[in-house]
């Protein structure tokens, strides 16, 4: 996100490959980049939670981890 923020502030035009979004100095671009960052953060938290829950379940089942 810091790289994207830097590029947008220096006037670079950033294009997303998958959905062909153009990110620049517009307010729409800032909102869209915030949404991308927020969804990435939520996904990181969910992955961490699922991993932790699975490891706890495996420990409770008596499986040796590591």
CA angle 11, 15, 18 (to 5 degrees): 165
pLDDT band with cut points at 50, 70 and 90 for residue 18: confident
Strand partners, 23: 14
The pLDDT value recorded for residue 45 is 97
d(CA 41, CA 32): 14
pLDDT band with cut points at 50, 70 and 90 for residue 47: very high
The pLDDT value recorded for residue 66 is 79
Higher pLDDT, 61 or 20: 61
Determine if the pTM surpasses 0.85: no
């Amino acid at each position: 996100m810091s790289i994207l923020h830097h590029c947008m502030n220096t006037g670079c035009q950033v294009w997303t490959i998958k959905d062909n979004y153009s990110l620049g100095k517009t307010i729409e671009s800032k909102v869209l980049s915030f949404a991308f960052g927020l969804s990435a953060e939520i996904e990181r938290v969910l992955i961490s939670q699922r991993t932790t829950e699975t490891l706890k379940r495996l420990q409770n089942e008596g499986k040796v981890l590591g």
